[in-house]
Amino acid sequence: MRALRILLVVVVVLGGLFVLADRLAVNFAEGEVADKLKANEGLATTPDVSIKGFPFLTQVVGGSLDDVEVGMKDYEAATGTSGQSIRIDDLQADMKGVEFSGDYSSATASSATGTASITYAELLKTAKSEPTQVMQGVTANVVGLSDGGNGKIKVAVEATVLGTKLPQPVYVLSTVTVEGDTVRVHADSLPSFGGVQAAESEVRSITDFQQKIDDLPGGIQLDKVQAGTNGVDISVKGSNVRLAG
């Protein structure tokens, strides 16, 4: 009995040491991946990296990690216009089947899904904010974006008619969609200004706008989008997504 108790103690101690070593190894690996992501993507802050699954060390031996979660704050994504970017407020991605090289210099996920958000204030920079003539004697420009409910964006348009600014903005509900690498905002119906209806093409040059986002980390792509409380919420996805290297 004494020998059995000693054996059990040894097993428990060794098991505890293995768990400790495993957790130390995974913490070290998470830091290394985060540092490589920061360097590769030119990030201002270090991303959050969480490697899921236990034990970690057996995954390393197999050369593949089951599940890696990555979180980035304030990511500056390119817009396709030279020198301009749009800030992604919060980007979260779940990477599956992460294969890495023998020297750990590169890592690629077989698939990835996640979410991103862009504030209305940031998206507003895309809209036409300078007063633009929509018909003779009438100029208009977008002055605000907000949650219109039911997945819609409420677009506030300020108008000046015959030199007099209307006392209140004109509001339109708009649908937001994703087409390829571009977020598009399209008015469901067109407003009138001081009771005057302008030509559709002229009004839509103000109310409708789009934003290209073509430089997300690792090559992940836009998937779906809808209006939320504080901005637009975007689903992202990808395959063969590069984490490092």
Is 222 contained in some domain?
no
Report the predicted TM-score, pTM, of the whole model to 2 decimal places: 0.80
Res. 84: pLDDT tops 80: no
Candidate ranges 4-13, 49-58, 74-83, 233-242; pick with highest mean pLDDT:
233-242
Mark whether 127 and 158 lie in a shared domain: yes
Is 242 contained in some domain?
no
Q: What is the pLDDT of residue 145?
A: 94
Mark whether 9 and 47 lie in a shared domain: yes
Mark whether 93 and 152 lie in a shared domain: no
**What is the rounded average pLDDT of the residues 139-168?**
90
Range of the structural domain that residue 72 is part of: 2-119
Res. 113: pLDDT tops 60: yes
Q: What is the pLDDT of residue 102?
A: 62
Which residue type sits at 200?
Answer: E
Res. 218: pLDDT tops 90: no
**What is the rounded average pLDDT of the residues 88-93?**
88
**Gap between the Cα atoms of 51 and 61, Å rounded:** 15
Mark whether 156 and 197 lie in a shared domain: yes
Mark whether 95 and 176 lie in a shared domain: no
**36-68 pLDDT per residue, tens:** 778 777 778 888 888 887 777 777 777 778 888
Query: Total domain count for the chain?
Result: 2
Res. 17: pLDDT tops 70: no
Contact 145, 124 (CB under 8 A): yes
Mark whether 160 and 94 lie in a shared domain: no
Is 168 contained in some domain?
yes
Mark whether 57 and 155 lie in a shared domain: no
Domain boundary among 119, 139, 156: 119
Q: What is the pLDDT of residue 244?
A: 66
Is 243 contained in some domain?
no
